[in-house]
Amino acid sequence: MENPIAELVSAFSSAETLQSKASIRIDAIQKGEEVNYRLNGVVFYQRPERLRIFGYHPFPLPMDLFDALYQEGKFFLLIPAHETAYTGDISEFDDLMKSTEVRMSIEKMDGSEVPNRIRIDLVEEKVKIEIRLKDILLNTSLPEDSFQWTTPQRIRIRPLTQLKGEILH
């Protein structure tokens, strides 16, 4: 797959805006063991090229797990547990994706103009991500800070090109 971010953004492009809750499942192999994460999330989209997916664990203690933002050719990924944010031009992400096999499927319910389910499979890394959108609001005003990026204190900033070696093994 050439550019999964472009494919995702394109999948929402029939809407002017989107705001949705999400149920996120991540299956991975870590240290030889299968691990499964189930998260809650929020998805924002605004035409032409703004997409944000925020994943968090609501209990027993609320915890932010990731914040991915694409806008105007730039990609940002914050992983608070690693105290790291990865940033860079989407062209750097393209180069990163060329070095790994990514499969993506986007499903729309009958008659829907936007996806309700997204599956991403990072084959070599043995990571599968499924995002199910629910309570979808289309073409409504979004919260003012939907696409604002602020790096929290004590977070290291890394180039997007380092994502492969540090997160995607």
Contact 112, 134 (CB under 8 A): no
Q: Give SS3 for 168.
A: coil
DSSP, residue by residue, 109-147: -TT-SS-SEEEEEETTTTEEEEEEEEEEEES-PPPTTTT
User: Domain extents for the chain?
Assistant: 4-166
Residue 108 CB neighbour total at 10 angstroms: 13
What's the order of all strands across the beta sheet hosting 156-159?
Answer: 102-107, 117-122, 127-138, 17-30, 33-46, 50-57, 63-71, 74-79, 84-89, 156-159
pTM over 0.95: no
Domain 4-166 has CATH 2.50.20.10: yes
Residue reference for tokens 């809407």: 15
Give residue 29's identity as a one-letter amino acid code: I
The 10s digit of each residue's pLDDT in 37-85 is 899 999 999 999 999 999 998 777 667 889 999 998 899 999 888 899 9
The 10s digit of each residue's pLDDT in 74-116 is 999 998 888 999 998 877 766 666 677 788 999 998 888 899 9
Residue 129: which pLDDT band, with cuts at 50, 70 and 90? very high
